[in-house]
Amino acid sequence: MSLLIQYTILYASVLILVALGGCFSEHSGVINLGLEGIMVMGALGGALTMKYLIGYPPVVIVILTILAAAVTGLVFSALLAVACINFKADQTIVGTALNMLGLAAATVIVKAINIAENPDNVSSTVQYIAQKKAFLVNIGGFDFNWMMLVALVILIAAYIVLYKTKFGLRLMACGEHPQAADSVGINVYKMRWSGVLISGVLGGLGGIMYIIAGASEWQFEAGVAGFGFLALAVMIFGQWKPHRIALAALLFVFSMALGLCVIVALSMLIYISAFYTVSPLGVRVLAGTLMEFFAGGVLPLPFFPDALRTILYALPFASIQNTPFLIYTGHLRSREALLELLLQAVWLVLLVALGRFWMRRDCGNCCFSLP
C-alpha cells in the first residue's frame, strides 16, 4: 500500500509540474503543445548535471540538478516564444516541431557525449546511479523524494501568483482579452514571454522528476512516454486552475496505479494455478484471452445484452482498461470516477486476500528441493 501511495504521489507530482507550466502559458494566450519536448530537454540538462556531480554533497547535487533542468527547459521554451509571439507562427505546428526537436536533439547530444568518452558506446543512455540517492529520504519505509516537496511548493506558489498578485491577474488578462489589456498599458508581449518561459521552467522540472522517479539511468531515445500530452489533458480536466489540476493529476495517476495493482493480483492467481496444471502457459493464454474479452477488447461492451453488460461492468476488467482513458478524455465526472476507483480497490483487496489464502494453502502441500 505504501508503494502504491508513493508512486501515485511521485508521478502525480510530475503531471502537476508540467500541467502548471501549460497553465501559465495558456493563461498568457499561448498554447504550449511542446511540453513533451521541453520535458525531454529538462531531463537532459538535469541528467547530464547529475552524471558529472560525482562525490558532491547531496544538497549540492539536488540544487544544481534542479537549476540545470529549469534553465534548460527555459532556454528551449524560448524557441516557442520567439516563433509564436514575435513571428506569430502557428502554435500547434511550432509545439509539434519542438516535441520532435527535443527528442532528436537529446538523443544526438547524449550519443555524441558517450562516443567522445568511449568510441564503443553508441547508446543514448545517461547513468546517475549514486547521484539519484541524493533525492531520496527514507521515512518509515516510505521513499520521500525531494521533488515531491518542490512540486507542492510550486503548486501553492502558482495559486498565489495567478490569483493573488498583480502579475498573475495581468497574465490572465493578456490571455483572455489582449486588446483590453493593451489599452490599459499592459505589455502583452512581455506577459506572454513570461508565461511561456515559466512554462519552460516547470516543464524542465517535470522532465527531470520523471526520469529519476523510477530508474537510475535513462535512455533518451525513449522520451518521456507521452507525459507532456498527459499533462495537457490533466490541465484541461482541471479547468486551468492549480488546485483542480492537482486533484486531476492525483485522480488520473491513482487510477492507473490501482489498475496495475489489480493486474498484478490477477497475475498472481494465474501463476498459482501452476500447482494444478502441467501447462501454465496455456492457463496464462486462456486467462489473458478471457480478461480481454470481459474488458470489451474483443467485442465492445455496449453490444452485450443488458443483463450481461451489468455483470461485466461490475468486474474489474473493463474498469482497469477504461477508467484512466475516460478520466484522461474528461468523459467521467468526479463522482463516477471515484466509484470506478472504489470498485477497483474492492477487487484488489479481494484478489490479494484470495491469492494469499491460496498460496499459503498450496505451498504447505509442496516440497521444494534445492540442487
- Mean pLDDT for 185-203 is 96
Cell of 232: 495537457
Exposed, middle or buried: residue 337 (CB in 10 Å: 0-12, 13-18, 19+)?
Answer: buried
pLDDT bin (cut points 50, 70, 90) of residue 318 is confident
Cell of 142: 516510505
**CA separation for the pair 38, 164 (Å, rounded):** 28
pTM over cut 0.85: yes
DSSP H or E run through 38:
helix 35-52
pLDDT bin (cut points 50, 70, 90) of residue 187 is very high
Higher pLDDT, 222 or 62: 62
pLDDT bin (cut points 50, 70, 90) of residue 268 is confident
Contacts for 178 with CB less than 8 Å, ≥ 6 apart: 29, 188
User: Are residues 358 and 272 in contact, defined by beta-carbon separation less than 8 angstroms?
Assistant: yes
Alpha helix (H) residue ranges in 177-279? 178-183, 188-214, 227-237, 242-272
Q: Is the pLDDT of residue 371 over 70?
A: no
pLDDT bin (cut points 50, 70, 90) of residue 347 is confident
> What local confidence, expressed as pLDDT, does residue 356 receive?
82
Q: How far is CA 294 from the centre of its chain?
A: 28
**CA separation for the pair 30, 28 (Å, rounded):** 6
Contacts for 362 with CB less than 8 Å, ≥ 6 apart: 272, 275
**CA separation for the pair 252, 258 (Å, rounded):** 10
Type of residue numbered 220:
F
